[in-house]
Each structure stands twice: as C-alpha cells, then as structure tokens.
Structure 1
C-alpha cells in the first residue's frame, strides 16, 4: 500500500473515534496529516499529540477489536507462569500472558490487534489457546518491570561482568594488580629506608615527568582541535532538509534521583526538542524508593510521549544501572542521555541524525558540547565554564580530528541503540561509565564523534558540591585505567599503540596530574622561598629547577588553554579569570585525594551531585552556538 493511504483498519479505527465523539473531524484530518508526514500509526499520532488519553485509547481499541480492556495494575496474574517465557520477546512483540483460566485457556494482554497470524504465533509460543484482553504497549512494559524486576535489576547491574569480567569495574583490582601494587609499595618502603635520597629524587622526577607529559599532550591535542573554526559542520540547511517521515524513532533517557526540585524544569526543557512527538520516546528513570521525585514528576503534567520508568531496587545504586534498565525498555533506533537539568538545543537530535548518516555504521556515538547558563554566578562557575569551553571546543575536537579514543561526557551522548547493546551497555560499577564506554567503543572498532550542538547545564556553585562531583569523576578515571590496564597488550592490539598512548596520557594521566599538583606546588614553594642549601641533599638544585620549570610550563599551558575557550563562544569577559587556573587545580587535587581514598575503601559509591542550587535560570544567559562536529 502506498505511503499516506489509510489502511482499512486505520479507517475503521478513525471512524470509531469520530462516532465516539472523542475527536473532531478537524482533529482527525490534522492527525492524518501528521501520520502522512511521519509514517506513524494513527493511534500513536493521536496519543503523542494529546488528542486522546491512554484510557480512551484502550477503550477504542477494545471496541474496534471486540475484546475486553484489562487494568494490568490490578488484575490477578500468575508470575510463575509468566516467567516461563522470555520477557524480551514479550517486550518486542507487545503481548504478555497473565494467568491460566479455569478452562485451561491462557489470558494474554495485547497491544496489537490479535489477527489470525498473531493469534497463531502467540499460541505456538505459549503452547495453549489464548484469550486476549486489551492493554497498551506501556501497560505491558510497566507490568514487565514489575514481574521481572529481580532479573532486570540483576541484568542491569551484572550483565557486563558476566559477559566479560575483565571489562567490568566490579572487581577494583585484579589479582595481578594487587600483587604488583604490593610489590611496588614494598620496594618503595625498602628503598626509602636504604636509599632515602635516591628514592625521593626518583619519585619526584617520575611525578614531574608524568605531570608534564600529560599537560603537553592535552596542549597538543587542543591545538589540533583549534583548527576548527566557528563554521557549523552540520548546517541548518542539512537539518531543514530532513523529512519527518524519514526520521527514525529516538529514545531519550533521563535518570533522576532525589531531584524533585528540578523535575518541572526537566519537563519544560525536554518538551522543547524539535522532533516528531510520535517518534520521540522520553523515559524518565526514577529509583523505586524516590517517592518525592516521582510525585513531583507526576504533578508536572508531562506530555504523552514522556514515560515514567521505576528502577527496581538493587546495587550498586548508580546512574549507569538506571540507564541499563532504560536501555532494556528503549524502542528507539537511536538513544540519548540527558541529566535532569539539561536544556539541549532544539535541533540537537536532528543534527545527530545527519552526523550518524554521514559517519556510517562505525560511528556508534556522537557527543554534544556542554555549557552553563549560570556561568557568571560566582568564581567557581566561571572557572567551571572555562574548563568546559576548552574541553568540548578544543580537546574533544582534537581527539576527534586525530581519531583517538574520546572519553564521553555524562550527558548529551547520542548512540546507535543496537551498537550500544553490542558494547554491553554501561558499567554500573564504574562511576564515570561514560569515559569507560568511549574506550570500549574504540577497542571494538567503533568511532565516537562530536557534534556542533550545545546542551545548557547548571554549573556547580558550591565548592563542597564541586569536590563531590569531581572526586567521583577522577575516581572513575582511576577505575577505567585499572580496568583496561588488566590487558594492556590486548588493548594495544585492538586500538593500536597511538590510541593506547593517548588513553594512558589522558585517562590515566589525568588522575596522576591532579594527584601531583599539591606536591609539585609545595616543592615549587620550597624552591622560591626556602634557601636551597636547606633542601640538600633530598632536593638537588637541578631537580628543584626542573620542578619549577614544570610548574611554570604546566600552569602556563593550562592558563593558555583556558583563555582559548571564550574565543569560540564569544564569552570574552571570562578570559582574565583564566589566570586563576592554578588555584582551580588545587580543588582538583583535593578531589583526587578523596577519589583515591574512595577507590580503596568505597570504590562503587556514587557521590551525588546536588542540582538546583543556582539562583539563575536558563533565560539569564543566551545559549552559545556549538562549534565542533562529527
């Protein structure tokens, strides 16, 4: 049948809606135009446009199919019977057995018309006659979460570990790593006792060289990223050329936890996305015990294409575990992660479609840039903004241009859903699951790119909140380094020596750099303010000068990179604040020592970042343009 020509079933369904008085002829014509434009079913269009409610849809489906409606939240069911068959199959095919009636017939909820072919298929699966009742797709999905909650919670937490334990951070240190670190510690203690001077000199030299190598690497990559100018890589013309009917279904995952104060903002921000509503599936992921956030969400009048997903109780209670549950339910060909406070560019999803089509099947993910609407609230938000400007506008662009592994940000990551499943989803035991996923993608031969689109966020306004957030990020970099250090030769074979060295300098080098900041600053202060003869013999003059030179070069490089950021975004008032970058790095160093402590004694604890602390709103600042693209 030609596209846009109504089927007999859709015509009968539409006439039933008209005769029931649920919609007007004008609304029907509007919905048919949307159907022709998007290629969706008429019932999906009506729901997504808010023309009928879910209850009304159930009623019309029941009348059209001559079947009774069932309330899956209250009807009796046999969970043992349901567990006999695959939850994945039920999810994919939109049906679910409920119980066996007294006559031996199995009662089955269906969200699609049970024609002869569908009836024959389902009865062949369950091995018994079926008695159908009507439910919607999301009725079935929510019941599936309830019935299979233990299995889903376990799979979300442990599937990657079961598939490939070497790629999971569930085990912090491998046996070989434990033995290696113990030997290094013993050698260090013995050397310090027997050769104290040589040991101190050796350690300071290694730390200084590692600090300088990581800093210079970031500088060189950022300089390569600086070759991109402000010209958009995905143009407005390319976005406008997209037809709604050709767009694929898109799933948006929004994990929220104890964020009742910003849920209304979430609904408003994501409601502004420019994408056909009947092809957009927004899954708001709320933990089972988070009653306040759930109540706030339900009271915020979310659009029909927003769906509440209750995350079953389980450990570890982390954002990636919640996202894995969302991935289990996602029906979109593409998928994106947003945080509760995010406000993405309206056309971001469409730009990503262009980037994915241009990048080919090997492009598994594109990362949008992040920026802050409260950049000028205080000194910390200014420094945070300068750091993000440099990272997203120069560093990621340089990594993309050099075809090096890209550590993803925690939000605005757009994926091919099937490829994400092939990667094993997110590692719930890694507290920077995004960075780890970027490395795994590179190891499997996939490509991660960046896109010229921006998502506005809330910058940290509080130093304690900043330390909590940054310590989690640094701990995650440590976890990711340990995970992939278990198999260095295999990783070199998979990604090549050049990409492996990039991983070492960026992912492993970043925590080392931050850990080295305070010791190097102290030694530098000794060099400047304390007579050198007092430092002999532990700190020979040549080492002190190297340390001082390292401090000057490293600090100057990072100040310079921070100064570069405002040029692409036009925020020139932030340039002089870059001079405070050495002080800003002290906060990173404090966070790194907290991260190291937690890595040893509480490795999987998710340090919660509080949102909604700002006194500013998104309307306070103009949204800057994105600058880099896939």
Structure 2
C-alpha cells in the first residue's frame, strides 16, 4: 500500500497538537520505539481515536488468523523479539524469500527502513493492522521459549523451591508414618492419644495467636514503619529518577479497566520514566477488546501471554519480566489506587536503606470499607495485617510474606531470585520467604494502595480459599528440609514461619473442631440434654469426662475464649492508625468471620489435593460504592 506522511497523519489532520507531536518525537528517538508505540502507550492518544482516524483515511485493517501464524525461518532472539515489539512490526515469510510486513502506522517509513537494515530482508507488501493485534500475533508466534521459562524457570533452577510437586515422596512418607503411629497409639492408648492431640492443638493455637498479639504490640511502635519525609522526596528531581516498571496482571477485568487507566494517570512520576506492562492472557477476549476500545489515552504497554497452564498470576508476571526494563518493579491489581507519590517514596527509601534490602512492601487497604459487613471485616483484617502485623514481623526480624500487590522490588535481585513460582497461588508470600532465606531483607513503608474490598460471600470464599491454599503450598515447600530452613532464616525466622505461615491455616482448620467440642461438652452438661438424649446421656458424659478431663476442658475453654478475645482486641486496635472508628464494634463479630475463614480453609485443603495450581478468579468491579471513602 502507499504510505502516508507522518505530518499529514498526525499533525496536519489535527490528531495531535504540535507541542505534543514534538514531545512524542523526542521520546520516540530516546527510547528507540516507534512514534505510534509512544503515542498510544504513554497516554498521548486513545486507541479508539487512532482507529477511527485511520478508518477515515479509507484504510482497512488486516485481520490476523491466530490459528495460522507464520514464522521467519531464522530463530528469533529476545533482542529480535523486542525490536519487532518496539516498532509494531509483524513479518510474514513468503515463498520467494521476501516478506509481507504488517505495521500499525501507515506513516512509519522509519521503522520499515530499520526492519530492512536489521533483518536484511526485502518487503513485498505492507499491510495495516491495529497495534494490539500485532502485539498479540508477535507474542503468540515468538513467545514460546519465554513462556516456558516463565512457567518452569524456578523449578529448573531449584526444584525444591517450587510448588510444582505438592507433596514430595519424603513428605508423603513422613505424613503417612505419623498417621500410622497415631492410629496405633489410638488403638492401644486411646485416651492418652486423644488427650495428647487435644493438648497439641490447643497449645499450638495458643502460641500462634499469642505470636500474632506480640506482632501487634511490636508493630504498634511507629518507628518500625519506614517513613519518608517530603523533604527527602525533594532530593530526587524528576530527571534523576530511575526507570520504573509497573506490572498489571489482569484477567477478565473489563469492568475495571477504565478505572485502571484513570488511576495510573494520577501517579506522580515522570511519564517517560514509566514502563507499565498490562499483562493480558491470549484467550481473554473480554479484556483485550476493552483495551482496544478505550475512549481515553492510557499509560500502559500491553503484553499478551500465550496460552498455557497453569493459568496463574505469577506465571503472567514472570512472562512480563522478560519485557520489563525498570530499575525497580512493582505490581498493582486492576482496581488498585496507590498513593500518588508511592513510587517516589520507594525510590527515596531504597536510597537510604542498606543494599541487602531488596523489597519494600506498602500497605493495602480498601476504598469501599463501609459498604457491607464483609467489606468492614475485610478492612479490619487488612488494617491490622498491614499496619501492625507486617511492621511487627519487620521489627522482630522475621521473614515477611509479601502482599499480592504494591510490593516494590529491585529488579536485578528479583531476577536473581528466579522471579515468582508459577505454581504457587500465593506467590507473593513464597517470594518473601525465599528472599529472606537468601540473606535479603524486606521492609514496609507507610504508603497505602487502596483496593476494592470483596463484598460478595461466595466471591470472598473463592478468594480466601486460594490464599489459604497458597499458605499451605508455601509451608509444604519450605518445610521439605526443616534444618535447611532453620540454617537459612535462623531461630526467630524459623519459629516465626511456623506460627505465622503454618499457624494461620492451622488455626482456621482447627477452629470449628474446637468450637464443636466446646459447644457439645456444654450441651451434654446442661439439664436439657437429659430430656433430649435420654438414658444414653450418662454414658456419653462419662465417656467425654474420660477423654476430656477437667484440666483439658479448662485449657480448651481458656484457649477458645482467650483466642477469640485476643483477635477481637487486635481487630479493635486496628482502627486507630486509620481513624476508622465506625468499624470498632464490628470487631466483636470476629468469631463469625473466623468461621468463614474455616470454610475457606477446608475448601483450600481439598483443592490442595485435587487441583493445587488452580487459580480461583476473584471478580472485581462488584462494589456499589461510587464515592470511595479513602482516608
């Protein structure tokens, strides 16, 4: 086809003002990216406006058949792949040794000339396609090797650190041996065995809850939270700030993609220093089409992940790593609203910390906290988790399990660690432990990212069951060799891991059992039980008194009551740092909220065995709150 002149297409037509045109041209040359790539990915022009403008010029778009994609005979390196992506070019090999070239900008003679020089190939015909269609075709054609690395790199580097194998043979044998021993003791010494199991559960729960209370006390000291003053931010002018990568993994997020684009515009960071990767699964047509038809400019570079299993967030993020270029990297979820100066604060903090600090975790909280019971309880939980628990872990020098978003990495150290485990459904918590085991440090920062609190019961159960299943995965992975873990993280780190990671899911699994025993025992001791159960009542009570002597009952009742009271108290004090005093009375309902966690825990345990890598999708954009109550 006949190429257009760039001035005619963008400038003389009035599509871009002259000052903007000059700015894009300067950025294009400095970044070595095509003019259109910069225009669309750095919020100068919306994709829909550009598409409509092209159609007005009587140009039809090339339609890819993604089931019949062609390759050049030569093997492409990562550098070749990057070149094609940076210039929006897709070559189709012809039988005569020439190529048809598919481009997104009919005025881009510069990229065409660069292609000829780079590959030493002659072009027969030029076709025009939408930029996202070209990006998708490139990733589906040339992304296989990178995709394999995104899924299996950690396993191939160190299979003992990957959750690909849920239970190792050694763990199966140990668990099987413990089961046989318990059954044997239960048969020979039934009373002693039942009392011992009850005592173990109660003591472990007591220590786990007590440890969380200790974390709350330590975390309440404000000095454990790293602070950056406005004056310190002023020490880093915009032209000296580093390149910063933001990964945005999305899956069927058309409901919030517009909010996402808007939220990114509010970041106080130089536009030309941002490397924003929007990670879209190749079979997610809903999100893909929503991005193609965005009506306003957006700051992100779409990356299309070729189809593969497992379909998990860490796999997508690992794939995105190979196209990321920042000195630092962070992850935001689709509905996130980070503090506008968060990136600048992280940069300032990294510059004042010792080199062995490689991750900064920012706090998470919710913008729809008063919408219903679930959002209020979720807000209480996140408030004590990020405002007290994680600072408490930081203060005690215990490994910090990272949150799923707003964790900021030194990019080179993230690559050194092997990225995320593509098979772990709480890849963030696992990575925090692995970083600590390698001698690196994680700290927390007093900057907040606001999310949408889950406001639907079944959606909440799906989300929480995945989290708890991931904690089980993480525990199994790092306890494959307990002595090795002890040597790597030390005494405090080892026991902190037992009570924080192990204690979290163990507490939720044990809670309904203790509650039922607690209620059943008191039911049997009430006068009403005799009329309900008749003559069998005395025999049953005598049996329970044998297996639950008074001292065990006293311990169980104390543990049950103390545990609930401590968690209610922790939830109550969580409101003070955020000044969310209207939530304080909801802390009393924490025992009900714990039962919901128990339902999720048993669902997660079942899935750990039946489908360990299954990523239960959390639906976003469900909130009815149109005026986010961010404070």
Name the TM-score class by shorter chain: 0.7 to 0.9
Q: 1:572 to 1:100 in 2, by over 3 A?
A: closer
Within the alignment, does 1:87 sit opposite 2:78 as a pair? Answer: yes
Distance 1:92 1:419 in 2: 25
Deviation of 1:165 (Å): 0.9
Within the alignment, does 1:282 sit opposite 2:276 as a pair? Answer: yes
Q: 1:379 to 1:107 in 2, by over 3 A?
A: closer
Deviations 1:237-267 (A, max 9, x none): 3234431111122222111222222222222
Equivalent residues of 1:109, 1:132 under 8 A apart: no
Deviation of 1:167 (Å): 0.6
Greater mean deviation of Cα atoms: 206-215 or 231-240: 231-240
Deviation of 1:403 (Å): 2.3
Deviations 1:74-99 (A, max 9, x none): 999962524x2423564279689957
SS at match of 1:81: coil
2:604 aligned partner? 595
**Structure 2 counterpart of 1:560, from 558, 569, 592:** 569
1:198 aligned partner? 192
2:53 aligned partner? none
Greater mean deviation of Cα atoms: 582-591 or 46-55: 46-55
2:416 aligned partner? 422
SS at match of 2:259: helix
Distance 1:77 1:605 in 2: 29
1:258 aligned partner? 252
Q: 1:236 to 1:142 in 2, by over 3 A?
A: farther
Q: 1:318 to 1:48 in 2, by over 3 A?
A: closer
Greater mean deviation of Cα atoms: 561-570 or 109-118: 109-118
1:296 aligned partner? 290
Greater mean deviation of Cα atoms: 315-324 or 296-305: 296-305
Deviations 1:379-410 (A, max 9, x none): 22111111110000001111112222110111
SS at match of 2:222: coil
Deviation of 1:130 (Å): 5.6
**How is 1:131-530 mapped onto 2 (pairs within 5 angstroms)?**
144-228=138-222, 233-301=227-295, 303-530=297-524
Deviations 1:309-328 (A, max 9, x none): 22211111111111112122
Equivalent residues of 2:367, 2:628 under 8 A apart: yes
SS at match of 1:603: coil
Deviation of 1:362 (Å): 2.1
Deviation of 1:512 (Å): 0.8
Within the alignment, does 1:545 sit opposite 2:554 as a pair? Answer: yes
Distance 2:176 2:624 in 1: 49
Deviations 1:35-80 (A, max 9, x none): 7xx98789687666655789999xxxxxxxxxxxx99979999625
**Structure 1 counterpart of 2:582, from 573, 580, 597:** 573
Equivalent residues of 1:248, 1:332 under 8 A apart: yes
Where does the alignment leave 5 or more consecutive residues of structure 2 unmatched? 1-5, 51-60, 526-540
Equivalent residues of 1:77, 1:98 under 8 A apart: no
Equivalent residues of 1:108, 1:131 under 8 A apart: no
Equivalent residues of 1:408, 1:438 under 8 A apart: yes
Deviation of 1:456 (Å): 1.1
Distance 1:21 1:465 in 2: 47
SS at match of 1:260: coil
Distance 1:302 1:490 in 2: 53
Q: 1:500 to 1:49 in 2, by over 3 A?
A: closer
Equivalent residues of 2:163, 2:474 under 8 A apart: yes
Within the alignment, does 1:612 sit opposite 2:628 as a pair? Answer: no
Distance 2:72 2:11 in 1: 42
Distance 1:525 1:56 in 2: 65
Where does the alignment leave 5 or more consecutive residues of structure 1 unmatched? 1-12, 58-69, 124-128, 625-630
Distance 2:122 2:134 in 1: 16
Deviation of 1:521 (Å): 1.6
Greater mean deviation of Cα atoms: 167-176 or 296-305: 296-305
Equivalent residues of 1:97, 1:106 under 8 A apart: no
Deviations 1:86-123 (A, max 9, x none): 23564279689957788978999999979999999x67
Q: 1:21 to 1:526 in 2, by over 3 A?
A: closer
Greater mean deviation of Cα atoms: 545-554 or 89-98: 89-98
Equivalent residues of 1:91, 1:140 under 8 A apart: no
SS at match of 1:177: helix
1:64 aligned partner? none
Distance 1:396 1:264 in 2: 32
Distance 1:116 1:607 in 2: 47
Equivalent residues of 1:366, 1:413 under 8 A apart: yes
Distance 1:99 1:291 in 2: 24
Equivalent residues of 1:260, 1:296 under 8 A apart: yes
What is the TM-score when the length of structure 1 is the normalising length?
A: 0.83
SS at match of 1:574: helix
Equivalent residues of 2:225, 2:444 under 8 A apart: no
Q: 1:596 to 1:56 in 2, by over 3 A?
A: closer
Deviation of 1:232 (Å): 7.6
Equivalent residues of 1:527, 1:548 under 8 A apart: no
Distance 2:273 2:516 in 1: 57
Distance 2:512 2:47 in 1: 59
